[in-house]
Every structure is written in C-alpha cells, then in structure tokens.
Amino acid sequence: MRIFSPLYARAMAWSRHPRAPWFLGGLSFAESSFFPIPPDVMLAPMSLANPRRAWWFALLTTLASVAGGLFGYLIGYFAFDAIEPWLRESRYWGAYAQAVAWFEAWGFWAIFVAGFSPIPYKVFTIAAGVASMALLPFTLASLIGRGARFFLVAGLMAWGGAKMEAVLHRYVDRLGWATVALVLVGVAVYRA
C-alpha cells in the first residue's frame, strides 16, 4: 500500500512554499518549549528541495529553537508550579525526572546532549529553568547542541540533493512501513 508517497510529495511541495521558512521558524520555537513535533520534519525536505539555502535553513532552525528553549527555561523558572500537575500526568514526567537527575550530574553537558539528540529538548529547557541553571551556559549549550544537530541534518540533505530526493521518493513507502514496524516493536517491548 502506497500511503507514504503522497505524504512525501505533499511535504516536498510544502517545503517549496514561499512562507516555509516562517513555518520552520515557528515550529522550531514551539518544539523547544511545548510542541511535540521536531523541526527536522520540515528542515530535511526544505534542505532537499533547495540545497543552496540549506545552511540558511539550519541557522534559522537553530536560532528559533534556542529562542524557544529560552522560553521553555522561563516556563520552568516562573510557571513550573502551574504546569507541574499536567506534567505529572503526561508522558513527559519520566523524561523530566531524568532531566533533573542529569542536571545534578552534568549541568551544561545535559543541555548539550539533549539539544543534539532526539531526547525531548523541551523537557530539558523547562528543567533548566526549574533548576535555575545559569543562563549563559544554558544558551551556549543550546546553541552548540541544537546547531550541530540542525546543521548536520541540513548538510546531509544538501549533500544528497536531487539524487537523494529521487532515492527517497522511490523508497519512501518501504521506509515508512519499516518505521511503523519499528515503532510497533518498540511499543511491544516497552509494554512487556
């Protein structure tokens, strides 16, 4: 069944939209403080669709993400009591507890790793605010971690260019179903 091909084609069309950079910046900001979808889902197709602007897209994503991280920091610093009941009931509570433990052990490096990895960065930004982490190290770790991640994604997509786009288009359905299968296996293992 070919359901991923039309979605891929639509994502590529959206990535060429004149306002796509605005959407990318907004998504990057929101993901760093409260939204669950990572900006890579827009950054990758935008960099594929327009490889000459990939570095600009990576910079935009990085700066908007760090600004969103600072907003998450402020949420943790000023409003944690208001969001704590919701956070305790959400699937993010375990990640939040882990973030707090990481801060106690590694500080700066916890933000750096969270910024680069697929770990929910928003949880670490809020935890940094709760822990009153010094703002300069928080910002530097965010810039380095998020920048490294987004420039890597954009660079790989720009490097692959039209050839990679053609290969992805050819195999997107197989990759999509493989991803679904991996998620189902992961859920089954997690629940066991």
pLDDT in tens, 60-92: 999 999 999 999 999 999 999 998 898 888 887
Average pLDDT of the segment spanning 83-103? 84
Residue 182 in domain: no
Residue 11 in domain: no
The chain-wide mean pLDDT, for the chain, equals 83
Residue 97 in domain: yes
Residue 183 in domain: no
pLDDT at 171 over 70: no
Handedness of CA 166, 174, 38, 159 (dihedral sign): negative
Range of the domain at 85: 19-161
pLDDT at 7 over 70: no
Q: Confidence class of residue 176 from pLDDT cuts 50, 70 and 90?
A: low
Number of domains in the chain: 1
Residue 31 in domain: yes
Token pair listed for 166: 């053609």
Give the whole-number percent of the chain exceeding pLDDT 90. Answer: 33
pLDDT at 172 over 80: no
Residue 82 in domain: yes
Q: Confidence class of residue 163 from pLDDT cuts 50, 70 and 90?
A: confident
Average pLDDT of the segment spanning 133-153? 93
pTM of the full predicted structure?
Answer: 0.77
Higher pLDDT, 159 or 67: 67
Exposed (0-12), middle (13-18) or buried (19+): which is 161, by Cβ within 10 Å?
Answer: middle
> What angle do helix axes 4-15 and 135-191 make, rounded to 10 degrees?
170
